[in-house]
Amino acid sequence: MKCIMVTGGCGFIGSNFIRLMLDSYPELSIINLDKLTYAGNLENLADRKDDPRLSFRKGDICKRELIDDILQHADVDAVVNFAAESHVDRSILDSGPFVQTNIVGTQVLLDACRAAKIPRYLQVSTDEVYGSLGAEGFFTEDTPLAPNSPYSACKTSADLLVRAYVHTYGFPAITTRCSNNYGPYQFPEKLIPLFISNATNDQSLPVYGTGENVRDWIHVEDHCRGIDAALRKGEEGEIYNFGGNAEMTNIGLTKLLLELLGKPDTLIKYVKDRPGHDMRYAIDASKAKEKLGWTPTYSFREGLQETIDWYLSNSEWIERIKSGEYLSYYETQYGSRL
Ligand code: NAD
Ligand code: DAU
């Protein structure tokens, strides 16, 4: 592969993916198309701004002329679609932008890629499309789709469009579905960076409901290596699950974070639950292991400690974000909860 277009490359996972790809493939060039929403931050790739192999276009994946223009002027071998509204709580406040970017944006990208005969398309999806598990079992690629939040309903709709394009047009797409990511550059509305930042400032940690909900945590670098493997070795039309083998209850994770940060449990504040809160996610990633030769490399504790260290030594990054639009969101979100 000589050139790929990455959408949403200024967000958390997209920026980590671009960094990994530039480091792994010296001959590769990358076009990063990002709308720079509240979650998109050029600073996430500041260390790569002088790399001639990386170019940036500010724009919306819903704009067909823009995508056509990029694909006509570059010899793109593959498109990797990270661009999305990604936060479940925001989708509960207003699902409009989620329908627009996650569904309409995907449809526009698929049509543009089809017209330009792009040989490979990878849709970055989520385990939330499978809904919620009870105490037992794991999501496999064959688990029926049963999304519960406006966010996951929109991601599922996009996955179904991808599936339909494969089936109807023989479109060369692959879909990946991953569990909860953690690591550097995650927007501090998500549990881990939010709680690290709050605890550091001796502010309370808002745990939703009883805190017994379970998430399976994967280091973002392991997820990005999985996407790379799927892009190179995945079979057209196939779906690959990625997970970190690290199930934790939210309250267990919160107490672990406080322990690692040397802060007291008295910072924990139980708040009103997220409406429709999914109970448990857990991934069976054996297909990715068998077919792609992928396996997660981080142990959760090691990855979490490294992540904490990153946030502590990049506190200005978070503080700059927190001084922007974030504040009004935080007040809307927690004003009624705390
Ligand atoms: P993020 O919110 O950090 O980043 C999203 C990026 O997309 C931002 O840079 C934003 O500016 C850009 N974007 C949004 N709308 C756009 C549009 N219309 N056109 C162009 N760019 C646009 O999200 P993330 O956590 O990095 O997630 C990336 C992808 O991975 C998403 O598709 C998400 O559903 C999926 N995913 C995330 C996780 C996770 O734990 N974070 C897990 C599984 C799957
Ligand atoms: O599973 C993959 C998904 O993981 C991705 O598709 C999403 O894009 C990503 O945002 C993430 O979704 P979650 O809703 O699981 O992540 P979040 O960090 O928002 O919440 C993690 C858990 O912690 C969830 O059970 C809700 C809870 N929570 C979250 C926040 C922000 C709290 O208890 N308090 C909080 O303040």
Domain span holding position 98? 3-182+218-243+276-297+326-337
From CA 78, how far away is CA 65, in angstroms rounded? 18
Ligand 1 atom having least distance to the Cα of 178: 43
Nearest residue by C-alpha to atom 15 in ligand 2: 180
Respond yes or no: is residue 151 known to be catalytic: yes
Contacts of 269 by beta carbon, 8 Å cutoff, 6+ apart = 204, 205, 206, 207, 338
- Residue 216 φ/ψ region, left for φ over 0, alpha for ψ in the -120 to 50 degree band, beta for the rest: beta
Residue 173 is inside which H or E element, if any? strand 173-178
Return mean pLDDT, the chain.
Answer: 96
Asked whether residue 263 is domain-assigned, the answer is: no
Could you tell me how many residues make up the chain?
Answer: 338
From CA 113, how far away is CA 307, in angstroms rounded? 36
Asked whether residue 94 is domain-assigned, the answer is: yes
- CA–centroid distance, 191 to ligand 2, in Å, is 6
Per-residue pLDDT, 93: 97
pLDDT tens-place string over residues 155-209: 999 999 999 999 999 999 999 999 999 999 999 999 999 999 999 999 999 999 9
Asked whether residue 103 is domain-assigned, the answer is: yes
Asked whether residue 309 is domain-assigned, the answer is: no
**Does the beta carbon of 62 sit less than 6 angstroms from any atom of ligand 2?**
no
CA distances from 113 to 96, 105, 108 (A): 25, 12, 9
Residue 31 is inside which H or E element, if any? strand 29-34
From CA 23, how far away is CA 45, in angstroms rounded? 13
Asked whether residue 201 is domain-assigned, the answer is: no
Of all residues in the chain, what percent carry a pLDDT higher than 90?
93
Determine the average pLDDT of the residues in 107-131.
Answer: 98
Contacts of 330 by beta carbon, 8 Å cutoff, 6+ apart = 189, 322
Per-residue pLDDT, 332: 74
Domain CATH code at residue 51 = 3.40.50.720
Closest CA to 59 of 9, 125, 13: 9
* pTM greater than 0.85: yes
**Does the beta carbon of 296 sit less than 6 angstroms from any atom of ligand 2?**
no
Closest-approaching ligand to the CA atom of 87: 2
Respond yes or no: is residue 222 known to be catalytic: no
Nearest residue by C-alpha to atom 34 in ligand 1: 86
pLDDT tens-place string over residues 37-90: 999 999 999 999 899 999 999 999 999 999 999 999 999 999 999 999 999 999
- CA–centroid distance, 284 to ligand 2, in Å, is 19
Nearest residue by C-alpha to atom 8 in ligand 2: 86
Asked whether residue 236 is domain-assigned, the answer is: yes
β-bridge mates for residue 121, sequence order: 79, 173
Number of domains the chain contains: 1
Respond yes or no: is residue 127 known to be catalytic: yes
Asked whether residue 99 is domain-assigned, the answer is: yes
Per the listing, tokens 């808002």 go with 206
Asked whether residue 285 is domain-assigned, the answer is: yes
Per-residue pLDDT, 333: 73
